[in-house]
Amino acid sequence: MEAAQRHPVSITRNGRPSVVMISAESYAGRQRMTREDLRQTMQRAGDLLELVVHEGIRILTPAQCRQRLLQSEA
């Protein structure tokens, strides 16, 4: 357990990796990063949906959405 507080520790079962232990601090940091990644992904999805709605019923390709999103940020 002390080693896991300094760096990730792999535990094996039958010679194969089974579990990796990390410190609570590292785990909390990973959770924050995961939440932030999800927030950013949801924001981008909302921005793309806004573009589709703004264009009316016309369906845009992903490339068109990205291009228009980049134009709107400029």
Over the stretch 9-54, which tens digit does the pLDDT of each residue have?
A: 888 999 998 998 889 899 999 999 999 999 999 988 888 777 777 7
User: Does the structure show a pLDDT above 60 at 4?
Assistant: no
How many secondary structure helices (H) and strands (E) does the chain include? 3, 2
What is the Cα–Cα distance from 33 to 25, expressed in whole angstroms?
A: 12
Structure tokens at 11: 């535990």
pTM higher than 0.75 for the full model? no
Q: Where are the domains of the chain?
A: 2-73
Q: Which amino acid does the sequence have at 66?
A: R
- The whole-number pLDDT of residue 72 equals 79
What is the Cα–Cα distance from 14 to 17, expressed in whole angstroms?
A: 8
What is the Cα–Cα distance from 73 to 47, expressed in whole angstroms?
A: 11
- The whole-number pLDDT of residue 55 equals 67
